[in-house]
Chain A
Amino acid sequence: MQLFREKHVDYVKNLNTKTDQLEYWLTEHLRLNGVYWGLMALFLMDSQDAFVKEEVIEFVLSCRDPKRGGFGPYPKHEAHILSTLSAIQILKLYNSLDRLGSFKPDLVKFIKDLQLPDGSFQGDRFGEVDSRFVYTAIQCLSILEELDENIASGATDFVLRCLNFDGGFGMVPGAESHAAQAFVCLGTLSILGQLDKLTSKKELISSWLSERQVANGGLNGRPEKLPDVCYSWWVLTGMDILGCLDWVDHDKLRQYILSCQDDVTGGISDRPDNQVDVFHTVFGIAGLSLLGFEDLVPVDASYCLPKAVVATIKKFPYEI
């Protein structure tokens, strides 16, 4: 089976035209994230021109929450760290961070103020804490080149405390291991240049991650769960970061991802024959890119951005 590249491009391109469908309105609170997922899928397929750059940038800027400084998922919505990362990633993909202009100091303040004394980050003023938000905030600050030692050491300590005895990572210290949390914790350490802190645990973590591959080739997020295409990203990235990508069977995984494509509408679903969505589409394609299949644009495992884009980000710790 092959990647239905053109169909996927069409699928993503048409997502924003379905305003007559209920689903479009029901996902309003995820709109900016959705734009990033779609745009990133297009970038990986080298088809970014399917979106009109200026329209996308204008939409991103219209989502800014002037009261808080970050970005909401839709105009007038409250800023949250998740939608803020999507905004920054989109601007970075378009090499348009300069469009932040005078908003940038407030944006950086919004992100930094979300860090708590134990080094974790909350998503917004609602106060939910999760290693997802640590990763999200650290990636934001990295792209903006605004990381500092204080923030980095707190975040590092927190994610290291999320490592469990079984080799997985949880959402907070002591929480159950989950592959998505492994991605965010390893991604955080990678961005901060702190992977050496895991040296003695590398094999343990790699084993836990590789055990996510099940008999049909797909990857699951936890023991005894069904495989899901998005874990092709959450699990593989961790393995790539740790340098053990070859511990899983690439061909079997490729077949699994490709079997989740819709050959009529385009798009990729979580499991074969399920309804496709843009979230699984981007992470399926990103997984294939990480494995080096289908002649896709190479993706960076820590940022989920094209490697060429990440190469332009200043690495932390910054040289004085």
Chain B
Amino acid sequence: MNAVSFQLNARNLWDQLTEGSKYNGTKYLQLVPDLEPLKGLIDIKSTDDEPMFIRIDNDDAQRREFFVAKKCCLKLCVAAIFELNRILEMEERNPQMWSESMQWQAFLTTIALLVTSPENHSALNLHQDLAEILFLRDETILRSELYLLISLLTCNNAKVNKSSSIWHLFKKVYLLHVVQNVNVSSIVLHANLLSATEHKNNYYAWSFARFFVQVEWLVYDNNLQGVYTQVRQFCRDAPQDTSSWMFLQHLMTLEFTPKLREKLQLDCLRLLDGFSVGDIRFGEAYGRPFSREEVREIVLETIEWIHRMEITSLSPWEFVKMNIGEDLSTVVDQLKESVSKFEDEHGKIHLINGYFETESSIDESNLLLMKLYTTTANKKRVLRWYEKHGRFNG
């Protein structure tokens, strides 16, 4: 791929991923090994006439879907790396001193690298330098950047979707919208949940969510009930997703204090450093989004759901155990009784590190019994925690 061809392809990528659509910008980027089987649907070609994207508007999923051939993506990446190295070797390294077209060329280069090697810190820094210039020149670029990042963070490639650097950049772009009084909260939360759906146990997606709820509460006076409802549903749809359950736990114990407000203010100032924008106005609403009584109800409801749905995964119990205390002593008694009854009937369960062994041999083909062993082992783990540590959160 020569330099001209690379620029055209990178521009194509940017245009497609940042274009608004009838689905409010929601896109789904999938890297696929090859595009041959879907040849009839190809509507965008790269400059050397190889299939680059397939674009489909999926009304059922309410999103625009892009299928990108890995081969094409890799070629683009290699060309971008050579282009980046050419830029890094330039005598004048300050993008402020470059011509407008040079700035755009370099910006497109960094975008190709965000798609293919998001932890390239030189590319990230250059991208940010250029974004600082371009956002000032044309405010629509900021919205395009938001769409671009959403495409990357919700895409099926783990390396991109779970990139801590892209999530960090997403924080900045979200905050830039906040500063400009453009409310993108629902789009951002939607993207967060889409990303977490695409990659379970998505550490950085749920870390972003922790930041997001702080801004929502302190800037928008959002009581977080909507966030809770959506995350609760997410957790129940993904019982094994520890990260989402731990976020739910975080939400339950969150308490806004002047100290937290001060910390968030400093973080935001640091995140916006370099962008010539105004300040964020923080409110002074302190307290807990969820009262202790509400948390107790939510925990009881979760335990009831675990039993009713015969959930075998440990994550919901991890959520429960962090909230269990004196006010839930009846729950503890019920768990003890249930474990004891099962062990009397089927033999002792020994918890060993992160797994368990049984005194009597189990017929592993008996799935129902295996399920009972697993659920009982989970209960035993919660009890062991309670006996050792008792109530932790208060």
Look across to chain A and name the residue whose beta carbon is closest to the beta carbon of B356: A215
CB-CB under 8 A from A127, the residues of chain B are: 168, 270-271, 273
CB-CB under 8 A from A176, the residues of chain B are: 203, 206-207, 242-243, 246-247
Counting chain B residues whose Cβ lies within 8 A of the other chain, the interface size class is 35 or more
Cβ contacts B194-222/A at 8 Å (1 or 0 each): 00000001010011001000000000000
A 88-131 contacts with B by CB, 8 A: 116-118, 123-128, 130
Q: What's the Cα separation between A214 and B314 when bound, in Å?
A: 13
CB distance from A271 to the nearest CB of B (A): 14
- Which of A22, A78, A171, A207 contacts B121, CB < 8 Å? A78
CB-CB under 8 A from A224, the residues of chain B are: 201, 240, 242, 313-315
Find the residue from A67, A80, A124, A128 having the highest chain B CB count within 10 A.
A128
CB distance from A239 to the nearest CB of B (A): 11
CB-CB under 8 A from B389, the residues of chain A are: 204
CB-CB under 8 A from B370, the residues of chain A are: none
Asked whether any CB of chain A lies closer than 8 Å to the CB of B117, the reply is: yes
The answer to whether residues A26 and B117 also contact, given A77-B88, A126-B125, A128-B164 and a CB cut-off of 8 A, is yes
Look across to chain B and name the residue whose beta carbon is closest to the beta carbon of A81: B121
Cβ contacts A36-77/B at 8 Å (1 or 0 each): 000000000000000000000000000000010000110011
Find the residue from B128, B201, B247 having the highest chain A CB count within 10 A.
B201
Find the residue from A28, A124, A178 having the highest chain B CB count within 10 A.
A28
B 241-262 contacts with A by CB, 8 A: 242-243, 246-247, 250
CB-CB under 8 A from B250, the residues of chain A are: 174
Query: Is the beta-carbon distance between A165 and B392 smaller than 8 angstroms?
Result: yes
B 308-359 contacts with A by CB, 8 A: 313-315, 318, 322, 352-355
CB distance from B73 to the nearest CB of A (A): 10
Q: What's the Cα separation between A211 and B355 when bound, in Å?
A: 8
Cβ contacts B108-136/A at 8 Å (1 or 0 each): 00000000110111111100100000000
CB distance from A28 to the nearest CB of B (A): 6
CB distance from B293 to the nearest CB of A (A): 21
Asked whether any CB of chain B lies closer than 8 Å to the CB of A193, the reply is: no
Asked whether any CB of chain A lies closer than 8 Å to the CB of B165, the reply is: yes
B 336-394 contacts with A by CB, 8 A: 352-355, 388-389, 392-393
The answer to whether residues A223 and B164 also contact, given A126-B121, A127-B271, A212-B354 and a CB cut-off of 8 A, is no
Asked whether any CB of chain A lies closer than 8 Å to the CB of B85, the reply is: yes
Asked whether any CB of chain A lies closer than 8 Å to the CB of B69, the reply is: no
B 145-170 contacts with A by CB, 8 A: 164-165, 168
Asked whether any CB of chain B lies closer than 8 Å to the CB of A29, the reply is: yes
Q: What's the Cα separation between A77 and B313 when bound, in Å?
A: 45
CB distance from A307 to the nearest CB of B (A): 27
CB-CB under 8 A from A248, the residues of chain B are: 353
Asked whether any CB of chain B lies closer than 8 Å to the CB of A261, the reply is: no
A 270-309 contacts with B by CB, 8 A: none
Look across to chain B and name the residue whose beta carbon is closest to the beta carbon of A175: B207
Q: What's the Cα separation between A222 and B243 when bound, in Å?
A: 9
Query: Is the beta-carbon distance between B392 and A174 smaller than 8 angstroms?
Result: no
Nearest 6 pairs of A and B residues by beta carbon? A29-B120, A213-B353, A215-B355, A76-B88, A77-B122, A211-B354
Supplied contacts A76-B85, A165-B393, 5 more A-B pairs, CB within 8 Å: A25-B77, A26-B78, A29-B121, A177-B246, A207-B388
- What residues of chain A have their CB less than 8 Å away from a CB belonging to chain B? 22, 25-30, 67, 72-73, 76-78, 80, 116-118, 123-128, 130, 165-166, 171-172, 174-178, 203-204, 207, 210-215, 220, 222-225, 247-249
**19 pairs, A vs B, C-beta closer than 8 Å:** A26-B116, A27-B117, A30-B119, A77-B121, A80-B121, A126-B121, A128-B165, A128-B168, A165-B392, A171-B164, A176-B206, A212-B354, A222-B203, A222-B243, A223-B242, A223-B314, A223-B318, A224-B240, A224-B242
